Amino acid sequence: MKKSFGSLLLVAGVIVAALAAGESQRISQSLAVGPELVGKTLHTAIGTHYETEFPDTLVFQDRTLAAGTVLTAEDQEWLSSIAVKEVLVLRRATTTETLPADEGAIGRVLAEPLTLTNEPEEIIAGRRLSAGFIERLKAAGMTNVTVDAENAELRQRKILDWPLEEGAETPEGFEFMNSKLAQTVTLPVQLKTSSYVDAALLERLKASNVEQVSVKIPKQWSLEAWGDRYAFLIGVLIIAAGALLKRSKTSGAAAEEELEEVGRISEALVSLEGDLEALLLRSKDLDPKALHAQIDPLLTGDVYTIAEGRYSIKQAHGGKVFAAVMDAFARGERKLNRAWSAAVDGHAEESRASLAAGLPALREAREAMPGTRPPVPAGFAPDDDMPLPPDVPLTGAGHWTDEDDS
């Protein structure tokens, strides 16, 4: 439940903070109608009209304030009289300014397209016509242009010499806009809006005798002007609270899981030692096939559990314990693998010898693991009241030697 609540807090905090941050980037803001509106620039048009229930009565506009209107005291009084509570106004009355084309403009960006009359640009056939491109053609003094036009109704295309003058006759059924240029034309280069002004661009402007440029006014961020700054702060606090809840839940779960894993490894070490000791006591009566059948569950059971969870030992008890346990375990595991291989190959005596050689190493691994008890030796019942004897070498184990693994 705590983890789910933490996730909900994270989502809610991100939403609140994102909305507040987005508000700081808006070009307009909502202001209540009052004296502070005077001098502000209206962002969206406001108008009133009257209607009647009679269908033949014309709807007429009473008054409209267009977008971009600089509001006066009279406008503010009129807005109050028609019960307007809030209006959208621009945060900045002007968004562009005109500067001399000199070093003072470096670092700014163009607010509108700019034509460089001294730089020709060759535009090949295939360019799609748009309103802006048509204005470039007209500005270059062209009166007509050859186009690849389409008659959508007849599904027909035709190369036409199209006049650019307003009101000139054009072929019926063919569309000029979005047609393709069917000739190569040479026009002055046109810099796009938002082109960056640097020293190289200034040289190009001077070569085309451009003396002034219209540039965008950089937006100055102000904490005082950020109306939703407190909402953003609340969002950040909600995110922090959610992260702390999730972290505490995750840390607790991880610690609990780690303890469980270490417990499983401890149980596996005890079980492996006891099962191997019991197997050795009856191994002289087992043939190679039976030995293989008895060794296989040890390797796929406890040995696998210890090997897979070995790093939790380091997390729980540190590097020295980890090294002591795993060094001894690795030696015992090699002997078990050798015993398994010998049994598969039909060598019962070699298999028994490897099992006996592996028992001391696995006992050493179990003893190096904090919190483990020795396994119940063969002949003792788990519920006996008598104390368990200390760890001693298996009776008869001295008859086998710890052979080299090679």
Angstrom distance (rounded) from CA 98 to CA 105 = 9
314-353 exposure pattern, b = at least 16 Cβ within 10 A, e = fewer: eebbeeeebebbbebbebbbebbbbbbebbeeebbebbbb
pLDDT above 50 (res 395): no
CA distance 36 to 71: 10
**DSSP structural state of residue 109:** B
If you search the block for the tokens 């059971």, which residue do you land on?
Answer: 301
Q: At 202, which amino acid appears?
A: L
Q: List the one residue out of 307, 317, 315 whose CA is nearest residue 372.
A: 317
pTM for this entry: 0.39
Please give the distance of CA 95 from its chain centroid, rounded to a whole number.
33
Split at pLDDT 50, 70, 90, the class of 175 is confident
Residue 284 and residue 351 in contact, taking contact as beta carbons nearer than 8 Å: no
Domain boundaries, the chain: 25-95, 97-216, 258-399
- Give the highest mean pLDDT range of 150-154, 189-193, 390-394: 189-193
Residues in the chain: 406
Is the CB of residue 291 less than 8 Å from the CB of residue 351?
Answer: yes
**Confidence (pLDDT) at 120:** 92
> Nearest CA to 402 among 344, 346, 362, 343?
362
Predicted pLDDT of residue 224: 61
Among residues 273, 258, 296, 285, the alpha carbon closest in space to that of 352 is found at 285
Question: How far is residue 205's CA from residue 190's CA, in Å, rounded to a whole number?
Answer: 11
Pairwise pLDDT comparison (251 vs 403), residue with the higher score: 251
For residue 311, what pLDDT is reported? 81
pLDDT band at residue 22 under the 50/70/90 scheme: low
Name 349's Cβ contacts closer than 8 Å, sequence gap at least 6: none
Tokens of 337: 């693998």
Q: Give the best-scoring range by mean pLDDT among 46-55, 346-355, 380-389.
A: 346-355
Here the tokens at position 313 are: 């030992």
Q: Please tell me the distance from the alpha carbon of residue 340 to that of residue 330, in angstroms, as a whole number.
A: 15
Nearest-CA neighbor of 193 among 252, 73, 109?
Answer: 109
- 156's enclosing H/E stretch is strand 156-163
Query: Which of 37-46, 139-148, 219-228 has the highest average model confidence (pLDDT)?
Result: 139-148
Six token digits for residue 356: 């006996």
Q: Strands of 184-327 (E only): list them.
A: 185-191, 212-216
The CA distances from residue 140 to 154, 189, 310, in Å, are 33, 11, 79
Task: Quick: pLDDT tens for 145-171.
Answer: 898 888 877 778 888 888 888 766 777
Q: Does domain 258-399 have CATH number 1.10.3470?
A: no
Q: CA gyration radius for the chain? A: 44
344 within 8 A of 292, measured Cβ to Cβ: yes
Residue labelled with tokens 């063919």: 174
How wide is the angle at C-alpha 325 spanned by C-alphas 320 and 331, nearest 5°?
130
Question: pLDDT by residue (tens digit) across 289-342?
Answer: 888 898 888 888 888 888 888 888 887 788 888 898 889 989 999 999 999 998
Rounded to 5°, angle at Cα 162 from 169 and 123: 160
What's the N-to-C CA distance of the chain in angstroms? 56
Query: Quick one: CA torsion of 388, 389, 392, 394, rounded to 10 degrees?
Result: -70
- Residue 280 phi, psi dihedral angles, 5° rounding: -65, -35
